[in-house]
Structure 1
């Protein structure tokens, strides 16, 4: 799978298309994708989401995607490296930094557009308009300060919408969405996904958190974690050149053999056979 590289800390890519010309790909950077008009399908990490005017997506370096355009679509991509927000003068240890850090390290693409409220979409589009105007003067000595402020505001609005969505769900499901988000965020750190650790983080008894999770989702906590991990491994096998030892190490398996055994149990195929068929 091709991985696109961004050679500058930041850029804006604004265009209109009737046909999507790029194959499924990843990036070395983050993207905020604005749909300014049109509609179609956005394929992200093996999931399919409809898109339409006003939708906003946030993708990270490990997300892979492409579009199926059904009506001429105007896109605007804001592309930036994570380090961009870490070097704003005088902003170290400020309250917004951990919020944005959490946003950028939490997979938001188990769903479609991050923002659903019309007014929230309008706020983001106003910020985008100002940012694009300032980008025309990117040689100005003030550009970096204005860019960082506008980008930070965008990310804070995205964080508010993503995390308030989870909070709203947690009020009706007693925090199962928070558990799901935590699992997605720490899927590469098996030590943080043990029953005892999750119970400690979410203030449940170890025996109760498993029962609670199954009641809310219909699936055991252990099974969900394994199946989610297997789906990510399938993507690695299909779209990366990593060998089995590297994948095993990435996902915290003790060795390649352990990965192969669990993968075959849940898919009926060995990782090597799965990769060949893909």
Structure 2
């Protein structure tokens, strides 16, 4: 998904600041750097505080009301995406106070847009696309701790890439039902556990072929393959090249 940033600001609200009801024909994000108040989206009034990020779909009325004693410092983001339907699945309210990645993306967009340097527009569009993709990915998981659970399971599989990790094993380690494990992995990666393991092995094999002098046989063994022939077949199926062809194409070590 590619997004285009139309406008972004860093706006210190006056005490008791309030907007009239607004209806935009574009999707809109509002981030609260500090302060408290209310942000109304449609018929719902959301309490707003530091770290809250709001999404207002196009065509939906919205209103900002800042507190009398502790007014907002806000960033509003007007943008367009090529796939409007994708943006609409974002929740109306998220809190990203502990997510330094997302906060950094927002702050960098504010800086780039304000300075207007060469390539600032392209950089802002890339930063915004990254932010939206990250938010969309997170919105696929409903439970508050699902992201942590997902990360732990993927880390476990990655740390054991050289051997076959089964749903039953992961179920024992993380105390989840076996039927849930493959669903979690597939939702996070788009791959089954077996496919994800193969992709990890191929990444490791590519790294070793490019940056080590180990033989193809050694690399196959390190990546969990008992058969060099099967490893080479699988590597070619995934990359379009044999291991030797891949290594030669990188201009590195010869067999």
TM-score w.r.t. the length of structure 1 is 0.45
Larger Cα-atom Rg = 2
TM-score w.r.t. the length of structure 2 is 0.49
Pick 1 or 2: higher relative contact order, CA cutoff 8 A, min separation 6: 2
The structure with more helix, counted as a fraction of residues: 1
